Chains A and B, each alone.
Chain A
């Protein structure tokens, strides 16, 4: 629900968008690329100055989604009200079509650990996350989406499968799920899960957005192969294939191309977004054929 104090300028359409990074501020303004929406990291727009001026100008004709990386929904010590209020202020100015955060944590003892760190899949962690999603939604006076993590380690006391954890957070708090298909692929490889089964276990009604990105493959000293979610390359064939399964199940959903390291030319991002856009169009056609039949 749109809130009385944070208005939504434009909703995010069920089409492909791109992550907007500082490197592309100028070229986006100059070339006005044909892209349905863009997403920015909330934490990069908490001050004032040039970054905000660019975003103010870009959002005049492009719907914007705000994606936070630092609220630390999984912090045992609680979320920082000052950070939550900074997020609210950015939203007040940007009037985003969607707002999202992560199923992760990065603050303990008042220290920000600058990564999206994994949670043990326990009832305690689930309660902590749900409490903080409630707190966030009530402070922002709107629904948020929460993103499934990519992880490299697991905890001995984890008892809830991650897809059930995600489903439970959405069911208990009314928040939506940002399904990061690349993260599912990365974690499935790293932990020996079945990525397709993960997607099949998520509740379609809760899915509000999909993320696609590239990842790398690293061989560790002991010979094990690890997938690293580094957002530094094109979306892999395997992730495209999982994406087809995802939209076949979830329907057309706003889909974002993320690229954060070794950020390429804007044209490359737009090409990736066009690929996603075509798959969304195909899925629409297939579902309308299915309806007709």
Chain B
């Protein structure tokens, strides 16, 4: 008699790899394999639907059939680990970048990566943004040592192609805008965040993106400052605080050691 673990491993081989050699002898009577297909179909259908929900623009760029084919292969190679499927597919952009039939669409991986960030922001945990009044309690001389913790919905991306422009044009079904996309416009620095009104995708200039990236990586304000006469760090910081891009902060030491998070 097979153990429960042996049966479950055999079932996995049948669902993931269509290999029913191990499971068939464990079934009662002469069970036709199309009964196993019902489970296999639900498995594939549920996960493909999760990917469709996360990557609607990617799907529109490649077409439904292509998407489904790519999803089937991806699901077989990288099935999820848990039933929380909201964030399933974080490896799909990387998969698409090395998926031979998709390599001719050079920007596809970037669009998928953007969609993944949008989806992550959409489902990020509800955390109250940092109450700016708490910063008022910090002595002015210590301001430079403030290190922020980013809000869980904030995502920063650096993409080789103008995926944000393509993404918006496809969502708006704006063929004109899509036709005018300049794939050679250079790398894009993208901020994705969830606001009360929904998820926003914004393209930042190099200095603004670098400043925010450093802050979100935990650098102190002083360490994150951008040395440029054209960039107003104070104004940028005020905007970040106003949009609730940080959840909390701590005071770091100037030599790089950090103190605990201030509650």
Give every chain A residue within 8 A of B8 (Cβ-Cβ).
75-77, 105, 108, 117
Give every chain B residue within 8 A of A46 (Cβ-Cβ).
84, 86
Instruction: Judge if A128 is at the interface, Cβ distance under 8 Å.
Output: yes
Contact partner of B38 (CB less than 8 A), chosen from A43, A224, A228, is A228
Mark each residue of chain B from 77 to 96: 1 if its CB lies under 8 Å from any CB of chain A, else 0: 00111111111000000000
- Across the interface, do B26 and A156 meet the contact criterion of CB distance under 8 Å? yes
- Across the interface, do A122 and B4 meet the contact criterion of CB distance under 8 Å? yes
- Across the interface, do A70 and B34 meet the contact criterion of CB distance under 8 Å? no
Contact partner of A50 (CB less than 8 A), chosen from B32, B122, B152, is B122
A178 CB → nearest B CB, Å: 18
- Across the interface, do A47 and B35 meet the contact criterion of CB distance under 8 Å? no
Given A108-B9, A113-B15, A114-B42, also A153-B82 (CB < 8 A) = no
Q: How many A-B residue pairs have CB under 8 A?
A: 142
B58 CB → nearest A CB, Å: 20
Instruction: Judge if B27 is at the interface, Cβ distance under 8 Å.
Output: yes
| Distance of A226 Cα from B122 Cα, bound (Å) | 39
| Distance of A108 Cα from B16 Cα, bound (Å) | 12
- Across the interface, do A49 and B122 meet the contact criterion of CB distance under 8 Å? yes
List B5-28 residues whose CB lies under 8 Å from chain A. 5, 7-9, 11-12, 15-16, 25-28
Interface size class of A (residues with CB under 8 A): 35 or more
- Across the interface, do B82 and A70 meet the contact criterion of CB distance under 8 Å? yes
B89 CB → nearest A CB, Å: 13
Give every chain A residue within 8 A of B127 (Cβ-Cβ).
48
Contact partner of A157 (CB less than 8 A), chosen from B2, B39, B86, B153, is B2
List B134-189 residues whose CB lies under 8 Å from chain A. 152-153
Contact partner of B3 (CB less than 8 A), chosen from A76, A109, A222, is A76
User: Residue of B at shortest CB range from A156?
Assistant: B28
- Across the interface, do A115 and B27 meet the contact criterion of CB distance under 8 Å? no
| Distance of A105 Cα from B152 Cα, bound (Å) | 31
- Across the interface, do A83 and B84 meet the contact criterion of CB distance under 8 Å? yes
Given A47-B124, A120-B7, also A112-B12 (CB < 8 A) = no
- Across the interface, do A48 and B4 meet the contact criterion of CB distance under 8 Å? no
A201 CB → nearest B CB, Å: 20
Instruction: Judge if B57 is at the interface, Cβ distance under 8 Å.
Output: no
B204 CB → nearest A CB, Å: 23
- Across the interface, do A157 and B38 meet the contact criterion of CB distance under 8 Å? no
- Across the interface, do A155 and B26 meet the contact criterion of CB distance under 8 Å? yes
Instruction: Judge if B126 is at the interface, Cβ distance under 8 Å.
Output: yes
Q: Which 9 A-B pairs have the closest CB atoms?
A: A70-B83, A48-B126, A47-B123, A76-B5, A108-B8, A76-B4, A154-B28, A115-B42, A114-B46
Q: A120-B7, A153-B27, A153-B35 are in contact. List 6 more A-B contacts (CB 8 A).
A: A47-B87, A105-B8, A108-B11, A112-B83, A114-B85, A220-B34
Q: List 7 A-B contacts (CB under 8 A).
A: A47-B86, A47-B87, A48-B123, A49-B123, A76-B3, A152-B39, A156-B26
Chain B contacts to A: CB under 8 angstroms: 1-5, 7-9, 11-12, 15-16, 25-29, 31-32, 34-36, 38-39, 42-43, 46-47, 79-87, 122-127, 152-153, 194, 198
